[in-house]
Structures are given as structure tokens and as C-alpha cells.
């Protein structure tokens, strides 16, 4: 049996109504021992967009950013940075 919510959403979609977009700002939250500062540094130096920042067991962070290309695909760059 179909859910009334699914049916309502389907009917709204068929009628041309789109659900409202959810605007979620990207944030880097700084917590003791995380990669927030390292990620901010790499983003500032490269002018790229942060994809991920993960701590490693050796006290470093693996930061991955997308750097815009010249009309082409962006370049994916991964950098290891000390925390």
C-alpha cells in the first residue's frame, strides 16, 4: 500500500510544483584534534572547494579539495597536512 505522503508528493510533482530547496551552508567546525584548521589552510592556499578532511593515526590530516579548471573539469587535489 502506498503512503499518502508519497502520493501527495507524486501528485505535486506531476502538477508542476517543486518542493522548496533546502539551503545548507558548508561549514568547517573546529574541534580540538580535528582537521578544521588544516582544511581552512588548504582551501585558502589553493582557492579550491573543500571535499573532505580526515585525520590520520600519525597526527596529520588528509585534505581533499576541488580546484576550478579553465572551463574544463575541476582538478581534485589531496594534501597531507600536519594538525
Query: For 26-53, how does the pLDDT look when each residue is reduced to its tens digit (9 = 90+)?
Result: 555 544 457 888 899 999 999 999 999 9
Chain-centroid distance of CA 29 in Å reads: 13
- Please tell me the predicted confidence (pLDDT) of residue 34: 74
Per-residue confidence band for 59, with pLDDT thresholds at 50, 70 and 90: confident
Residue 46 cell numbers, joined:
589553493
> Which carries the bigger pLDDT value, residue 79 or residue 28?
79
Residues 5-25: what's their mean pLDDT?
A: 63
Residues in a beta bridge with 53: 63
- Neighbour-count burial of 64, counting CB atoms closer than 10 A to its CB (0-12 exposed, 13-18 middle, 19+ buried): middle
Q: What is the pTM of this model?
A: 0.57
| Per-residue pLDDT, 32 | 47
Number of H helices, E strands in the chain: 2, 3
The ranges assigned to domains in the chain are 29-83
Amino acid at each position: 500500500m502506498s503512503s499518502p505522503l508519497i502520493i501527495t508528493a507524486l501528485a505535486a510533482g506531476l502538477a508542476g510544483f517543486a518542493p522548496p530547496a533546502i539551503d545548507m551552508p558548508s561549514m568547517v567546525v573546529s574541534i580540538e584534534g580535528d582537521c578544521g584548521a588544516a582544511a581552512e589552510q588548504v582551501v585558502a592556499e589553493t582557492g579550491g572547494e573543500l571535499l573532505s578532511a580526515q585525520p590520520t593515526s600519525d597526527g596529520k590530516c588528509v585534505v581533499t579539495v576541488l580546484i576550478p579548471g579553465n572551463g574544463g573539469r575541476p582538478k581534485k587535489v589531496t594534501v597531507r597536512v600536519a594538525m
